[in-house]
A and B are shown apart, each in its own frame.
Chain A
């Protein structure tokens, strides 16, 4: 067994174990940290497959951003563990049955496809290529898939707006304009005309002021 085969089996074992831990952990924080481990292991698997840009992007985006988002939400929500809820027993049996059925079907499909040799290649073609994965991916992404890339950008924008709109709360202390009140205001709300006696100029004040005397 070569080293790459050994690496594949070790990484696959870690990946499956951390996936099991994600769905079965009692504390959500443990599930989140196991998911981080799963992402790291998947990134390592992708790098062994020759997709090093995607592996690094997975670490940066998921471990760096999405999982931090999960942990922030987990921290903000302060979910109390209510142990009176049934943990596994109620739905575990049908879930395992459905899962076993699905796994059986998929494995039969894959192995049958191998047996009848429906063009599953045996060795990775990208293993002996020079390591220019990122450059080739960039060319493909910005030439052939440019419209899809722009659509994904729009999708990210829409998701950002949706998340902000959903979670934004009006603050009690915020000051903002109310345009309807501004339009509905009348003259009497803002202006008050007061009748006052007119001022009378004193004789001494005019005599001592320099601009009046300099004019003569």
Chain B
């Protein structure tokens, strides 16, 4: 088991915990698509933590470049997601996840 001083393992475990928290939030969320988008941002943030930690511990800056790309992609994703959310609100008047059951079999 890892010791008390923070090593790469600690950062990986922290990123794993963050990922699992936000995934549980995504699965259990029933009320708000906006909170869903925020949880997706958290997932991407935990992936970025992995990139930055590996980059720092292996002394290779390519991981930080990848983090910048992930940040840009996440910004685009949230912009388009919020645009879709506005469309959804105009059409249906609410953004609860559980009302999006048109394709339910």
Q: Is the Cβ of B9 less than 8 Å from the Cβ of A110?
A: yes
Q: Is the Cβ of B4 less than 8 Å from the Cβ of A141?
A: no
Q: Which residue in chain B gives the minimum CB-CB distance to A32?
A: B38
B87 at the interface (CB under 8 A from A): yes
Q: How many residues of B contact A (CB 8 A)?
A: 75
Q: How many residues of A contact B (CB 8 A)?
A: 91
Contact of B28 (CB < 8 Å), options: A53, A92, A140: A92
Stretch in contact with the other chain, from A2-10, A179-187, A189-197, A198-206: A2-10
Query: A128: shortest Cβ distance to chain B, in Å?
Result: 10
- The number of inter-chain residue pairs (CB within 8 angstroms) is 242
B80 at the interface (CB under 8 A from A): yes
A70-107 CB contacts (< 8 Å) to partner B: 70, 73-74, 76-77, 79-80, 82, 85-88, 90-92, 94-96, 98-100, 102-103, 106-107
Q: Is the Cβ of B21 less than 8 Å from the Cβ of A51?
A: no
A-B contact sample (10 more), CB < 8 A, given A19-B42, A51-B64, A111-B2 = A42-B48, A70-B82, A79-B89, A106-B20, A122-B8, A155-B76, A156-B76, A159-B77, A160-B79, A167-B87
